[in-house]
Amino acid sequence: MLIRLTKVLDAERLQAVAELLTGADFVDGRLSAGAEARRVKRNLELAPGSDRRERLNAVVMNALVRHPDYQAAALPARVATPFYARYAPGMSYGEHVDNPVMGSAPHLYRADVAVTIFLNDATDYDGGELWIRTTFGDQTVKLPAGDAVLYPASSLHRVTEVTRGERRVAVTWVQSLVRDAARRELLYELHRAREKLLRDAPQAPETLGVGRAYLNLIRMWAET
């Protein structure tokens, strides 16, 4: 399941993010990668000890966790602190699958869902598409500033080489209440149907039936 989240960050938040990233200390992105990904990762990431990280998270993550499609699609149980990445000309991230377990003991979490939030506009750079292999074929994603894409962290994916300008993104991962990607997709489809029925026919018995099925499937499948 690949889902576009529109307008996660509005113009004011994007401006705040741009100001915080300007002049920030960035380091080799391979420092945060596992052994396999390190071979194909060529980018820069905000230094782990940066005093700007908390202010960035206050803007970016507060907006993300309030996005209704994010909540419905990810069903988040635990959310990782994001990486803020830059891709200058010549940089890319080759094909890889994200690590299944991230963090460090005792704060480990399972990476079920990956989220990429685009922090500058697609016209600011050439290349830099996020390529994701899905059950419906290969997809490429390059979104306007403020939009995000959500997809299973188990997917094979890569970032194509940037040939002009600079690509800026925030990347985070989610341990979902529902581990299985197919079940999450089914629940998201039911959620959308339920929301439409609640708008169009809130008193109809079909609305109650779909809502009951949705809630009880979450109850059946959720892991806490």
What mean pLDDT do residues 40-65 have?
94
Asked whether residue 107 falls in the same domain as residue 187, the answer is no
Least confident of 43-57, 140-154, 183-197: 43-57
Apex 170 CA angle, 69 and 114, nearest 5: 55
Supply the pLDDT for residue 221.
Answer: 98
Tokens of 139: 């997809």
Assess whether pLDDT exceeds 90 at residue 115. Answer: yes
Q: How confident is the model at residue 34 (pLDDT cuts 50, 70, 90)?
A: confident
The rounded distance, in Å, linking the Cα atoms of 98 and 105 is: 18
What mean pLDDT do residues 152-175 have?
97
Asked whether residue 105 falls in the same domain as residue 212, the answer is no
Asked whether residue 214 falls in the same domain as residue 172, the answer is no
Which residue, 118, 49, 57, is CA-closest to 86? 118
Which residue, 18, 23, 26, 16, is CA-closest to 58? 16
Measured CA distances, 128 to 20, 110, 162 (Å): 22, 27, 5
Range of the domain at 203: 181-221
pLDDT 10s digits, 62-101: 999 999 999 999 999 999 999 999 999 999 999 999 999 9
- State the CATH number of the domain containing residue 53: 2.60.120.620
The rounded distance, in Å, linking the Cα atoms of 224 and 78 is: 10
Using a pLDDT cut of 90, give the percent of the chain over it.
Answer: 89
Q: Chain-wide mean pLDDT for the chain?
A: 95
Supply the pLDDT for residue 50.
Answer: 84
Long-range contacts of 56-61 (CB under 8 A, 24+ apart): 56/17, 56/20, 56/21, 56/82, 56/84, 56/170, 57/81, 57/82, 59/9, 59/13, 59/16, 59/17, 59/20, 60/9, 60/13, 60/17, 60/117, 60/170, 61/172
The rounded distance, in Å, linking the Cα atoms of 79 and 93 is: 23
Predicted structure pTM score: 0.94
Asked whether residue 206 falls in the same domain as residue 157, the answer is no
Contact yes or no for 130/157 (Cβ under 8 A): yes
What mean pLDDT do residues 126-155 have?
96
Asked whether residue 130 falls in the same domain as residue 20, the answer is yes
Assess whether pLDDT exceeds 90 at residue 107. Answer: no
The distance from CA 91 to its chain's CA centroid, rounded to whole angstroms, is 20
Q: How confident is the model at residue 1 (pLDDT cuts 50, 70, 90)?
A: confident
**Number of structural domains in the chain:** 2
Least confident of 102-106, 116-120, 128-132, 203-207: 102-106
